[in-house]
Amino acid sequence: MTQTTAIAHPNFALVKYWGKKDIDQNMPAMSSISITVDSMHSKTKIYKNLSSKQHRLFINGEEEQDISKIIPSLQYLSKISKSNDFLVIKSENNFPTSSGLASSASGIASLVTAYEAHYDIELKMSDRVKACMLGSGSAPRSLLGGFVLMDQNRSYRCSQILGKSDWPLDVLICIASTESKKISSREGMEISRKTSTIYNHWLDINQEHINEALEAIREKNILKLERVTEKNCELMHEVMKTSSPSIVYKTDVTRSCVTEVENLRVLGHKLFYTIDAGPQVKIICDPSSSNAIKEKIIEKTDVIEIIHAGIGGSPRVVNEN
């Protein structure tokens, strides 16, 4: 095979990871739970670089000068494949890159999936997790569809809690800004680990939030999932805020979306929100409310656009030349 292409979807955490246990291995300091979304994807093509002895990475057609994030993943994979090939990697995102929309998770997961197929190496799931994690701590969760647990107590084992059609919720991604974030997650997490006054509390409460979210998902109880997701999200943003320097990813548009979520709830709609390391607001809702929510958010806030997604599946190889 001369070239291989794979697609993976981003995932959004309901119980979040913010802080690392081991920087060299890029290991999260906590467990996390996410949903994988459809509609949005990274499509990554790889082939052998025949013109120079280096890996080359292109994202949305532009060559990246700093490829340090993907080198550990490639080194890990090349030990298994026993290939010394240098690769050309061309990744395209059909959504804004580097603005808190988990483009690195879907990018890395699609790269690992393409690599495995290209070299026909049939990885163990634990090797896929490791290869993804070395690139991005949230990327292993994109290896599975549906609702996913990454369990730090079980060597970061990733498992599916429910499949994408077991509980078909909608995900409305409200784009508050398409600018790249000023502080990367990686930098921000380190600042928080070293300086946030509530970082230890954040670590201590993790298992409690995981248990609550697992129960809510297994029961398909949207109200329970709302409670734990929003409290976990707000606590993470408090950890960021209480860091020194203080880290704030929310903007006025973010806040006005949250106000509308609360107003819509009063009107009887079933929905909740989460926000990552960027200003975008991800609304998870019962599909019967999606259109009403979109109309209200567009009418009342300054969002740029709303991406309408459902719960997505696992990565896949796509045959194209």
Chain positions contacting ligand DP6, by CB under 6 A? 13, 16-18, 26, 32, 104, 136-138, 185-186, 276-277
CB of 50 to ligand DP6, least distance (A): 30
* Rg, C-alpha atoms of the chain: 19
Q: What is the 3 state secondary structure string of 35-56?
A: EEECCCCEEEEEEECCCCCCCE
- Alpha carbon distance 141, 163 (integer Å): 13
CA 158 from centroid of its chain's CA atoms: 14
- Alpha carbon distance 201, 239 (integer Å): 9
CB of 185 to ligand DP6, least distance (A): 4
**β-bridge pairing 62-63 and 42-48:** unpaired
CB of 186 to ligand DP6, least distance (A): 4
CA 53 from centroid of its chain's CA atoms: 31
CB of 255 to ligand DP6, least distance (A): 18
Closer CB to ligand DP6, 186 or 224, in the complex:
186
Closer CB to ligand DP6, 118 or 141, in the complex:
141
Closer CB to ligand DP6, 98 or 113, in the complex:
98
Closer CB to ligand DP6, 119 or 202, in the complex:
202
CB of 319 to ligand DP6, least distance (A): 29
Query: Are 49 and 86 a contacting pair, CB within 8 Å?
Result: yes
In DSSP terms, 174 is beta-bridged to 281, 306
Closer CB to ligand DP6, 77 or 210, in the complex:
210
| Residue-level length of the chain | 321
Residue 245 preceded by cis peptide, ω within 30: yes
- Alpha carbon distance 142, 129 (integer Å): 10
Measured at CB, which residue is nearest to ligand DP6? Answer: 137
Closer CB to ligand DP6, 186 or 227, in the complex:
186
Alpha carbons within 13 A on the beta-carbon side of 139: 31
CB of 24 to ligand DP6, least distance (A): 12
